[in-house]
């Protein structure tokens, strides 16, 4: 069985990392056009660095939660049964990896990596970035940026994502509002291919009407329940009968 799971900010919410569009969310407090576009970085690099340095520190201080751990169990459990989990995340945090997931496709890039705008080299970087940061590959300063996908830039790995989605036996969206394409269009593509679809979210998303089944509630309860159901482990303690 191949399951395609798409995750969004909601899966990291109970780890203390904010979402974007919920009340108090990041894009409710900050203007993404001033902080999350290549033009913003060219115009105000220090302001953009300060914003991402703050978010990077938040990720360093956060811990994976039971939902991240459940998806790591799902990956191992499916592989043990000759199946496959394709985990595609819109999130730029590293909580899936720190929970034990071994194959994570970050379609919006990774906050814990830095990329040089001069030579293109990308490397792990958990520390603050600034105009004084030198590229370890070419040595230039002033051009290091968070290796994330900004508005107006092309999401990553779209061909591999499309191939995996078309080959899936089940499509599951977890913790995403369905507000941003191309990720928000994955459910329609799955439906068009006759693939069953399931939404796991705190509340119905913008694309809720396109899902065959749904489980609404906090990810730290709903995702372990889902994984237990898939792996045949029966209901987890505290979940609904």
**Does residue 22 bind ligand APR (CB under 6 A)?**
yes
CA distance 27 to 8: 14
157 C-beta neighbours (distance < 10 Å), count: 12
Confirm or reject binding of residue 19 to ligand APR (CB under 6 A): yes
**Which of 68, 96, 106, 108 does the annotation list as catalytic?**
108
Binding residue (CB under 6 A) for ligand APR from 121, 170, 180, 208? 180
| Contact string 62-91 vs ligand APR (x = CB under 6 A) | ----------------------------x-
Whose structure tokens read 């459910």? 187
Between the two ends of the chain, the Cα-to-Cα distance in Å is 25
If one counts every other C-beta atom within 10 angstroms of the C-beta of residue 8, the result is 27
Binding residues for NAD(+): 8-27, 90-93, 175-177, 201-203, 219
Q: How many residues bind ligand APR (CB under 6 A)?
A: 23
108 assigned to active site: yes
- Residue list for the binding site for substrate: 52, 55
Specify the DSSP element, H or E, that contains 187.
helix 186-192
Q: In the complex, which residue's CB is closest to ligand APR?
A: 10
Answer for which of 176, 197, 198, 207 binds ligand APR (CB under 6 A) is 176
Torsion of CA 10, 60, 70, 102, to 10 degrees: 120
Shortest reach from residue 139's CB to ligand APR, in Å: 31
Stretch that binds ligand APR, among 125-133, 174-182, 185-193, 207-215 (CB under 6 A): 174-182
User: Could you tell me the two tokens for 160?
Assistant: 């591999």
Neighbours of 142 (CB within 10 A): 14
- Of 34, 21, 15, 7, which Cα lies nearest the Cα of 107? 7
Q: Which positions are annotated as active-site residues? A: 108
Contact residues: ligand APR, CB under 6 A: 8-10, 13-14, 19-22, 25, 90, 108, 175-177, 179-180, 201-203, 205, 218-219
């Amino acid at each position: 069985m191949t399951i395609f799971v798409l995750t969004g900010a909601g899966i990291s919410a109970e780890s203390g990392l904010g979402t974007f569009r919920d009340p108090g969310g990041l894009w409710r407090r900050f203007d993404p056009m001033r902080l999350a576009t290549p033009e913003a970085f060219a115009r105000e690099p220090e302001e953009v660095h300060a914003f991402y340095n703050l978010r990077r520190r938040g990720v360093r201080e956060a811990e994976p939660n039971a939902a991240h751990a459940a998806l790591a169990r799902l990956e191992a459990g499916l592989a043990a049964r000759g199946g496959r989990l394709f985990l595609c995340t819109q999130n730029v945090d590293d909580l899936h990896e720190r929970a034990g997931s071994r194959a994570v496709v970050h379609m919006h890039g990774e906050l814990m990596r830095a990329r040089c705008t001069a030579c293109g080299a990308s490397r792990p970087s958990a520390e603050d970035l600034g105009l004084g940061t030198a590229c370890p590959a070419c040595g230039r300063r002033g051009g290091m940026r968070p290796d994330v996908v900004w508005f107006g830039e092309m999401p990553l790995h779209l061909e591999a994502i499309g191939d995996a989605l078309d080959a899936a036996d089940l499509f599951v969206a977890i913790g995403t509002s369905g507000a941003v394409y191309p990720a928000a269009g994955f459910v329609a593509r799955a439906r068009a291919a006759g693939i069953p679809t399931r939404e796991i979210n705190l509340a119905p998303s913008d694309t809720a009407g396109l899902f065959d089944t749904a489980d609404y509630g906090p990810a730290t309860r709903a995702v372990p329940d889902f994984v237990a159901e898939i792996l045949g482990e029966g209901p987890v303690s505290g979940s609904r009968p």
